[in-house]
Every structure is written in C-alpha cells, then in structure tokens.
Amino acid sequence: MGGVKRICGSLQSSLSSSYRSLKTLLVWGMENLEEWVEDAATFPCLKKMLIRHCPNLRRAPHLFPSLKSLELNEVGGSGVISITDSLTSLTSLTIANCDDLTFLPERLLRQNSQLSVAHLRCCTKLQSFVPDQQGFEGVLLESSLRKLVINYCDALMYIPDVRGFTSLQNLRIEDCLELETIPNGFLRFLVALKKLRIINCPKLNNLGGGGGGEMAFPSLQLMNVSNVYSISLFGKRNTLNSLTRLNISKVQELKTIPMELLQSFKHLQHLQIDDCPSFEGFGLSTIKEMPNINPCFHSLYIGDCPAMSSVDLRGFASLTKIAIIRCQGLKTLHGLQFLTVLEKLVIGAFSDDLHCFPLPNLISSLDELHILGWHALQSLPHQLQLLTTLKILYIGLFDCLTVLPEWLGNLTSLETLYIAECENLTHLPSKEQMQRLTSLRKLHISNCPRLKERCDRSGRGGPEWPKISHIQFLRID
C-alpha cells in the first residue's frame, strides 16, 4: 500500500456497511498517502484509531463522533490538524514523531472535555500547545485530563498559562531542550497533582515563577526534577503537605532548601539532592530552636554538591538511611550522634584537602556502613572500631590504604564485608583477628589487584589466603 496517494469513499462503497460498525481502525505504512476522504457518517461507531507511518498525510476525515482513543505516529502536521479539528469525545491521545507539527490545534483542548490521558512525544518542531499564546493567557478550561506526558519535543519553549487542569494527577515533561518556563498560573490550579516529573530541560529557569498567587500542591506525593537551570518552588509560602518523595538533581541555581520548608512536609519520607553545584545546605543556623522534621522522614541522600561545606543533621532524628558522598567542599559533619535510629550510612569520597574523615561519634545502632575514601586518606577512621553491632561493612576507594587495622576484629557482629577499589591494599588483619569475626559469612574483594594476588588460593596459596579460607561465601575478582 506504500504507493497509494489518495483514499476516497468511492473505493470503499462495497464495504460501507462494515465500516459503519467498525470499532478499531489501524492505518499503517502508507508513506505516500496525501488525502483520505470519507463521508461524514462512515465511522459512526469507531472507538479507537491508530495512524502510523503516514508522513505525507495532509487531509483526513475529522468527524468521528464516538472516537475515544487516537494515536497519530509519524503523520504530517496538517494531517494532525485535519483529523483532530472537530473531535469532541476523546479520552486518550498520543501524538508522536510528527516532525512538522508546530502547534496543537486550538480546539483540541477546548472541545475534548473528557480527555484524561495525553502523550506528546518526539515532535521536534512543536513550540507550544496553541498558535496564539496570548489567546490562551489565563484561560480557564474545564478539563478532566489526569495524565500529561511531553517528551523529546526539542523546540517546545513554553507551557501556556492555561488554568483549570484541576483533575491532573500525573505531569511528566522530559527532554524538552528549549523549554524556558512553566508559569505559576498553570501550576497553581493543579490541586489533584500527585506526581510531577521534569527531566532534562536545561533552559528551564522559571518553574513556578510569574503569574502571582501561591502554589500549594496539596495532593503532590512525588516530585522529581533533574537537569533544569532553576526552580522557584521552595519559597516559604509554598507548601507540599502530601509530599513523600522529593528528588532533585542537576539544578544549577538551587542554593538551599530552608529547614522551615522541610518541616512543613508532614509526610516526607525520602529526600535526594544530587549533582547540584550551588547547593549549600538547609540553612540550619537556628536549628537548636527548631523541632525535628516529621517522624516519617527516614531517607536522605546528598551527592556531588561541591558548594556544601558543612552538614548539620540535628533535626533529622527520624532518619534510618543517610548517604553523603562526593561533596568535594565538605569540611564538617555535625549531629550524626543524635540519629539514634540510624541503620544505614553511606559516606565519603570527599576532597583531597581533607586528611581525616569528618566524622563525629558514630551511632551504635548502625547495621550497615559504606565508607568511601579518597587519595589523601591512608587509614580507616578509628571510630569504626566502636561499631560492634555492625552487620554489613563496605570499604572502597582507599587508594593509599595498604593494611587493614587489627581492630577490625572488634566488629564481632559483622556478617558481610566488601572491599573494593583499594589498589594498594596488600594486608588484611592478622589471622587471629579475622577469626574473631565469628559471624562473617560473606567476603567480596573487588578491584584490589595487590590484595587479590596475595589471596590466591591456587598451589600453596597466597600469604593472605589462610586468613580467609574459612569464610563460607568468598568472591575475589
């Protein structure tokens, strides 16, 4: 069918009765099709239509009174407009790979009040929803849209200031490289929004800015923002009372998340801040006067934030898991001793300017510790020997470490030991100290070339082999 340029009703008259009862229609792989002409009443019962790989289609039927689901994939822009111009009953819409589509038809949003799912994907010339941004400025639409996904629309510059998406629960905007603003006027009506995901929109510098008003997001549970320039959602007037997970990464201008704001997140469970070059911390200068963050908050991750010089964890008493890694400017770490329910700690890979670990007294409740070194460190932190209830220990990236300390034998509850990427490590503790680890069942040594050679089990075995030969699960690679 690749050579067909025109479909008209006269070609299908013999099948007209079948078409009247048709509920699903797929038009596929007609690369040269330019026109598809039908009588208005040809498909009165059609519920689902998919048109794929018809890049030259510019004219098509538009009267589908019962159509609920529409997918247009690799269809010409004028074809998209022709098909959607008069639709009123859509509940699901997918438009993908329509390279010359610059705007969505204006009537599409206005006329399909029952539309609940919309997905715009790989429309490389799409600039906005509508050709006349001013015509939609502040417009209140009655919309039942529940899920909106926009991704790989490289030319998309702005989301129109359309009001009234009060049913929207899931908003995803990904890989829109020219997107600059998502206005406050659009966001503040998203009272049912549960999931917000904005990924790889590097020019976005006005998320939640402009338009006035206060954004509450009373239903938002998951927020994931990555690789945008800046966000304006963290003012003192903004509340996210239902938020449970907040993931922020690669936000160039994020400097702080105020402690007062974190305390207003009554249901927050997990916070991740990753690769934010300007992030300095939580503004904890008056932390002694502040109550703890909600008791649901149990997981904190901070990584690759070079501007953060100090972390004060007072006020985070409910945390059970913490990771603070690869923060090159970190000099001090306070308050760890107050985290009495902490179970897992991942820490390290800091600046070569530090010659010792910035650790206060550790919590005896720790079950799992991952400690990462850096080039300047020549020994493990001595505080580790007090963790007599520790069950899992990971030691990695200690390039200058040559010998594991004898006090490692004090960790008598240890069940699993990982040693990784310690290129100059040659000696384990003595055989007597290794045998004190009576609970140790699993040892994994990875990317430690000198230690691997000394743990060789072939022939007579290397000098370290007798120290570990009794361990049940042993892996050396």
Question: Residue 101 is encoded by which pair of tokens?
Answer: 């589509």
Give the per-residue pLDDT at 472: 95
For 381-393, b where at least 16 C-beta lie within 10 A, e where not — what string?
beebebbeebbbb
Give the per-residue pLDDT at 358: 81
Q: What is the pLDDT along the chain (477 residues), one digit of tens a residue?
A: 557 888 776 445 545 556 678 899 999 999 999 888 876 567 889 999 999 999 999 888 888 899 999 999 999 888 898 899 889 999 999 999 998 898 887 778 788 989 999 999 999 999 887 665 555 555 666 678 999 999 999 999 888 777 778 899 999 999 999 998 887 778 878 889 999 999 999 999 867 554 444 556 889 999 999 999 887 665 555 567 899 999 999 998 899 888 877 888 889 999 999 999 999 998 754 445 556 778 899 999 999 999 999 888 888 889 999 999 999 999 888 888 888 899 999 999 998 888 888 876 777 789 999 999 998 888 999 889 989 899 999 999 999 999 999 999 999 999 999 999 999 999 999 999 999 999 999 999 999 999 999 998 886 779 999 999 999 999 999
Question: Residue 72 is encoded by which pair of tokens?
Answer: 């247009």
Helical (H) or strand (E) element with 201:
strand 195-201
Give the per-residue pLDDT at 285: 47
β-strand pairing of 48-54 with 147-151: unpaired
Nearest to 251 by CA among 275, 283, 280: 275
CA distance 326 to 306: 8
Give the per-residue pLDDT at 213: 45
> Reduced to 3 states, what is the DSSP secondary structure of residue 451?
helix
CA distance 219 to 81: 35
CA dihedral for 56, 49, 86, 106, sign (positive or negative): negative
What residues contact residue 136 under an 8 Å CB cut-off, 6+ apart?
A: 106, 129, 130, 160, 161, 162
User: HSE-up of 429 (CA within 13 Å, CB side)?
Assistant: 16
What residues contact residue 104 under an 8 Å CB cut-off, 6+ apart?
A: 95, 120, 126, 128, 129, 130
CA distance to 258, 268, 274, 295, per residue, from 318 (Å): 18, 11, 21, 5
Neighbours of 466 (CB within 10 A): 12
Give the per-residue pLDDT at 164: 77
Neighbours of 263 (CB within 10 A): 16
Give the per-residue pLDDT at 138: 57
Give the per-residue pLDDT at 284: 57
Cβ contact 254:229 at 8 Å = no
Give the per-residue pLDDT at 362: 73
**Which domains does the chain carry?**
263-360 (no CATH), 367-477 (3.80.10)
